[in-house]
Amino acid sequence: MSHAPIAPKIYGMVAEFETPDQLVHAASRAKEFGYTSIDGHSPFPIHGMSEATGFKCNLVPWIFLVGGILGGLTGIALESYVSILDLPLEIGGKPLFSLPSFFPIMYECTILFSALAGAIGMMALNGFPRPYHPIFDCPGFERASQDRFFLAIEADDPLYSEIETRRFLAGLEPINISVVEEEE
Amino acid sequence: MAENQQLIEGNQTYASLDTVIGDVVLDQRRHKLPWLTTFGIASIFALFVLPLTLAWLLYQGIGVWGNNIPVGWGFPIVNFVWWIGIGHAGTLISAILLLLRQQWRNSINRFAEAMTIFAVMCAGMYPLFHTGRPWVAAYWLLPYPNIMAVWPQFRSPLMWDVFAVSTYFTVSLVFWFLGLVPDFATLRDKATNKFAKYAYAIPAMGWRGSHRHWHRYEQAYLILAGLSTPLVLSVHTIVSYDFAVSIVPGWNVTVFPPYFVAGAVFAGFAMVLLLAIPVRALYGLKDLITMRHIDWMAKIMLTTGLIVFYGYNLEVFYGWFSGEKVETALMQWRFYGPYAWAYWLLIFCNGIAPQILWSPKARRNIPIVWTVSFIVTIGMWLERFVIIPMSLMRNYLPSSDRMFIPTFWDFSMFFGTIGFFIFMMFLFVRFMPSITIFEMKDLLYKLGADKKPQSDAVGAGEAH
């Protein structure tokens, strides 16, 4: 029954909790149990959730770094090209390549590129904008952005089974357990 | 930890935070006469006085202002520096205090960030229109290949300023918007009105609070704060270079960068207090923006005020110690010249009036704090007036000395931008959550986790 490709495709099973601590506890228990496709949903970032579920992603800082380096290089390249090659103007005896004067714009370009790359990169890694997601069909999920904490065990998890997963989640004493279908 | 209890007052829960903050936006009936009156007056300035001034200015040229030769930088640059300084408190609160883990910032950062953005918009108008014909000025402001084959002069502080201010605006906007995304999601989920639901769903971009998203989100948010901190310091430093790099007497002072940055924070906190005090009273946010917040902001105002006052003293010292005749003459011109009243009023506003904040009683007295903030806001405007036109009126060549007298259009543009700022702030308070909801919940959790046992069955020992 559990893995049969029946008509409404299942997204996963979702348990609703009342406190953040319960959610973290549930997530770490789920990980101990062997589940790998776990997703927690909370109205605010809970420190310890990533550790509890074993989620690691340090790509965002690297995007910022690369963006910043590219920005700085763009800044100095623009200034050098303009001031040395395309429009060499000698003013006040200053050298064509006047690094101290070029520094502020280089600096601002570094910050601008880094911030834009990082912000856009973060949103892209998170897959936004994504107006629809199956979890939105979970009953009561509108409270995930308000005062409830949800743990989803996704159906693509190898350990997922309608009966076993429900039993496991029930053991965590949630307020509610619901099976969420995927549309289409 | 015990002192943190005053950061959130009343018996708050996650749901009550949503109600307290979200209902200001979702229950539109709460915006009554005070909102309407202020907004109405502000709109007259924002939608009528300001466009009219700009139209007349573009039609007639910048001669309608009091600017002359040698005072090429009159009111427009005074107001530019004033506005950009006001914006700086927003970044300071949202970025620097975040890095310093000052959790009390959580209830004022959104508001202050909005202030930053609108203040930078007001600031940006001045240099743009000071060029007279902004559409023609594009080729020497922005580096783009044009048919005249000329480029901007990158060795000029004015060019650095263009890059600094436009970067500052962009990064502040990104930072502000990222902070708003989870809150838009909360409003989307909480809204009952169909139109409001759609309106908040679009900027929420489908945020669903997944812990993987929060993980990357927090990384990005923290690094953005780390980037904004050197940015905000660099912006006002570069603004001060506009003056300090030149040889105009009164401008060519090395103390300018730190003293400008401190002045910006000083003016910014004054503006935050000036606006937050009425807003918290009108919209029942007193539990979230508490007396403790006001007390701390007043302390920061006092500290930065002292740095600024030190800068004034150093300017006087420099006027004497440099041994430069023009520098000494300039200080005397400030003390005894026709605009001496502006100088002494400045000393009163920024040097003397804030000293009352040494007293804890005064810092916790709302009318006093508000009045001091108002005085400081005026004082910071006078500071820029004293520095900019007053230094230009007298120069190396006595034959070219000339008085600067502001005209009607100088004032109409100034009041026009103030109207625009209030107009935008009031729209913001009405349609966007003016306190960061998710950060307040986080704060509530951190403060309450150890003393509010909600369920006993859970042993979350390994979570922390």
Pick B463's closest partner by Cβ from A21, A39, A64: A21
Tell me the DSSP string of B43-97.
Answer: HIIIIIIHHHHHHHHHHH-GGGSS--SS--SSHHHHHHHHHHHHHHHHHIIIIIH
Q: Which of A44, A53, A115 sits opposite B174 (nearest CB)?
A: A115
- Asked if CATH classification 3.30.70 holds for the domain at A10-56+138-181, the reply, yes or no, is yes
> Cα distance from A79 to chain B (closest Cα, Å)?
7
d(CA B267, CA A153): 51
Q: Tell me the ipTM for this assembly.
A: 0.89
pLDDT at B167 over 80: yes
Of the pLDDT bands very low, low, confident and very high (cuts 50, 70, 90), residue B441 is confident
- The maximal CA–CA distance of chain B, rounded, in angstroms, is 86
Which has the closest alpha carbon to B433: B6, B15, B19? B19
- Cα-Cα-Cα-Cα torsion B244, B247, B251, B256, nearest 10 degrees, comes to 20
pLDDT at B202: 87
Closest CA to B95 of B70, B83, B112, B81: B112
Give the model's pLDDT for residue B206: 84
pLDDT at B459 over 70: no
Cβ of B318: how many Cβ atoms within 10 Å?
18
Cα–Cα–Cα angle for B359, B360, B362, rounded to 5 degrees: 70
Q: What would the mean pLDDT of B55-61 be, rounded to a whole number? A: 92
Q: Which of A144, A149, A151 is nearest to A169 (CA)?
A: A151
Nearest to B421 by CA among B63, B90, B178: B90
Q: For residues B377-401, give the mean pLDDT.
A: 90
Q: Which two tokens stand for residue B130?
A: 């000071």
**Which residues, including other chains, have CB under 8 Å from residue A114's CB and lie 6 or more apart?**
A64, A65, A67, A68, A71, B227
Distance from C-alpha of B42 to C-alpha of B22, rounded to nearest angstrom: 24
* Interface contact A179, partner B, CB < 8 A: no
Closest alpha carbon to B267 in B239, B225, B226: B239
Strand partners, B234: none
> Is A172 within 8 Å of chain B by CB?
no
- Is the pLDDT score of B381 beyond 90? yes
Determine phi and psi for A152, rounding to 5 degrees.
-110, 130
Here the tokens at position A37 are 């496709």
Report CA Rg, chain A: 25
- Residue B405 CB coordination number (10 Å): 12
Distance CA B240, CA B259 (A): 9
Long-range contacts of B96-102 (CB under 8 A, 24+ apart): B96/B225, B96/B229, B96/B232, B98/B221, B98/B222, B98/B225, B99/B222, B99/B225, B99/B226, B99/B229
Span B77-100, pLDDT tens digits: 999 999 998 888 788 888 888 888
**C-alpha triplet B122, B306, B314: angle, nearest 5°:** 95
Q: Does A165 touch chain B (CB under 8 A)?
A: no
Reference B214, options A137, A41, A148; nearest CA is: A41
CA–CA separation, B428 and B118 (whole Å): 10
Determine whether the interchain pair B213/A82 forms a contact, defined as Cβ–Cβ distance below 8 Å.
no
Please give the residue of chain B at the shortest CA–CA distance from A42.
B209
Q: Which candidate from A46, A118, A147 shows the least CB-CB separation from B211?
A: A46
Distance CA B103, CA B151 (A): 46
Question: What is the pLDDT confidence band of residue B240, given thresholds at 50, 70 and 90?
Answer: very high
Nearest CB to B460 within list A24, A50, A125: A24
CB contact under 8 A, B211 and A18: no
Contacts of B442 in chain A (CB under 8 A): 44-45
* Bridge partners for A153 per DSSP: A13, A38
Per-residue buried b or exposed e for B98-131, using 16+ beta carbons within 10 Å of the residue's own CB: beeeebbbbbbbbbbbbbbbbbbbbbbbbbbbbe
Residue in chain A lying closest to B197 (CA): A142
| Spatial contact of A169 and A153, defined as CB atoms under 8 Å apart | yes
**How much is the average pLDDT of B185-195?**
85
**pLDDT score at B318:** 87
User: In angstroms, rounded to a whole number, what is the distance separating the alpha carbons of residues A139 and A136?
Assistant: 8
DSSP state of B108: T
- Cβ of residue A84 closer than 8 Å to a chain B Cβ: no
Interval B392-417 mean pLDDT: 90
Q: Residue B371: what are its φ and ψ, rounded to 5°?
A: -65, -45
- Give the rounded percent of residues in chain B with a pLDDT score beyond 70: 95
Asked if A57's CB is within 8 angstroms of B189's CB, the reply is no
- Pull the structure tokens for residue B417: 């931008």
Q: Could you tell me the pLDDT band of residue B5, with boundaries at 50, 70 and 90?
A: very low
Instruction: For chain A, give every domain's residue range.
Output: 10-56+138-181, 59-125
- Structural domain boundaries in chain B: 2-449
Of the pLDDT bands very low, low, confident and very high (cuts 50, 70, 90), residue B238 is: very high
Residue of B170, B186, B457 with shortest CB distance to A145: B186
105-134 in A: which are within 8 Å (CB) of B?
105, 107-109, 111-112, 114-116, 118-119, 121-123, 125-126, 128-133
Q: What percent of chain B has pLDDT over 90?
A: 37
- Checking if the pLDDT of B141 tops 70, the result is yes
Q: Do B463 and A145 touch (CB under 8 A)?
A: no
Residue A117 corresponds to which amino acid? A
Write phi, then psi, for A179 (nearest 5 degrees).
Answer: -95, 130
Q: How far is B112 from chain A (nearest CA, A)?
A: 20
Coil, helix or strand at residue B2: helix
Cβ within 8 Å, pair A144-B167: no
Nearest CA of chain A to the CA of B165: how many Å? 9
End-to-end distance of chain B based on CA atoms, in angstroms? 17
Q: Please compute the mean of the pLDDT values over residues B297-316 and round it to a whole number.
A: 92
Residue B11 has pLDDT above 80, yes or no: no
pLDDT recorded at residue B450: 42
> What pLDDT shows up at residue B396?
86
Quote the minimal CA–CA distance from A7 to chain B in Å.
26
pLDDT in tens, B270-295: 998 998 898 888 877 777 888 888 89
Taken in order B35, B37, B39, B42, is the CA torsion positive or negative? negative
What mean pLDDT is reported for chain B?
A: 86
Instruction: Answer positive or negative: Cα dihedral of A137, A141, A142, A144.
Output: negative
Question: What's the rounded Cα separation, in Å, for the pair A24 and A71?
Answer: 39
Distance CA B415, CA A161 (A): 67
- What span, in angstroms and rounded, lies between the C-alpha atoms of B49 and B62? 17
Kindly indicate whether the domain formed by B2-449 is annotated with CATH number 1.20.1630.10: yes
**pLDDT in 10s for each residue of chain A, 184 residues:** 455 555 678 888 888 888 888 888 888 888 888 888 888 888 888 888 888 777 888 889 999 999 999 999 999 999 999 999 998 988 888 889 988 899 999 999 999 999 999 999 999 998 888 888 888 877 888 888 888 888 888 888 787 778 878 878 877 788 888 888 877 5
Is the model's pLDDT at B429 over the cut of 90?
A: no
Question: Are B216 and A126 an interchain contact pair (Cβ–Cβ within 8 Å)?
Answer: yes
pTM: 0.89
Smallest CA-to-CA distance from B53 within B136, B162, B138, B126 is with B126
The pLDDT confidence band at residue B455, using thresholds 50, 70 and 90, is: very low
pLDDT band at B169 (very low <50, low <70, confident <90, very high): very high
How many beta-carbon pairs under 8 angstroms link A with B? 214
pLDDT at A76: 94
CB B113 within 8 A of CB B176: yes
